[in-house]
């Protein structure tokens, strides 16, 4: 079986459709069935890596990138696009970190799986935006994520402003979709670690 790194390097980048005002006008505010259906939930885990640095600086949406080998569970069964679910950043084993206890709770997330056609990436990436204001960076920390549903296909854009607008809609759609009982219960899934704590100074 090919590794995720091989998949990321060898997969042919598909042509993404261009985002249009017509597409934006008909976007639903809740997506997916009332409870997750196959292939969801998809479990992901791995250390957070530095990405391109564009999410926070250019798009107002900082992302945590998973390493290539961590995205095999989703890249083998799902198409490029935007997904929603939950994620948790885990503190170091000694608990010493600038993160606070609220930072390491399970939070809603949106994830982009694809090539980011607006930026012409050459490899497949999984970039997760956790909808929470973190106290500090957490590069190198382990992260667990649970992908529960699909929002939309990967799109290309003629402007950064249109991309930012769609990202904001993605966040609202994710929160609305996760508010349903059969999705909200996954905040307590065993995939997450509820025993971890952070050291207080």
List, by residue number, the catalytic residues.
Answer: 127
Bridge partners (DSSP) of residue 127 are 65, 112
Token pair of 166, please? 């769609």
User: Parallel, antiparallel, or unpaired for β 107-114 and 125-130?
Assistant: antiparallel
- The Cα–Cα gap between 73 and 148 comes to 13
Q: For the chain, how long is the longest CA-to-CA vector? A: 53
- Asked if residue 87 lies in contact with residue 66, where contact means CB atoms within 8 angstroms, the answer is no
Tell the burial category of 105 from Cβ atoms under 10 Å away from its Cβ (0-12, 13-18, 19+). middle
Which of 13, 12, 16 minimizes the C-alpha distance to 158? 16
Element (H, E) at 23: helix 21-25
């Amino acid at each position: 079986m090919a590794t995720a790194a091989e998949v990321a390097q060898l997969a042919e980048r598909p042509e993404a459709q261009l985002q249009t005002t017509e597409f934006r006008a008909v976007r639903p505010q809740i997506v997916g069935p009332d409870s997750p259906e196959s292939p969801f939930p998809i479990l992901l885990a791995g250390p957070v890596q530095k990405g391109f640095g564009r999410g926070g600086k250019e798009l107002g949406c900082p992302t945590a990138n998973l390493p290539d080998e961590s995205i095999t569970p989703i890249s083998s069964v799902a198409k490029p696009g935007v997904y929603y679910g939950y994620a948790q950043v885990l503190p170091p084993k000694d608990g010493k970190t600038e993160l606070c206890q609220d930072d390491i709770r399970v939070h809603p997330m949106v994830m982009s799986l694809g090539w980011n056609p607006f930026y012409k990436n050459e490899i497949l990436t999984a970039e997760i935006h956790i909808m929470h204001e973190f106290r500090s960076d957490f590069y190198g920390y382990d992260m667990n994520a649970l992908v529960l549903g699909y929002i939309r296909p990967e799109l290309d854009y003629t402007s950064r402003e249109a991309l930012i607008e769609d990202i904001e809609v993605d966040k609202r759609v994710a929160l609305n979709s996760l508010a349903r009982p059969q999705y909200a219960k996954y905040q307590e899934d065993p995939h997450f670690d509820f025993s971890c704590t952070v050291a207080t100074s």
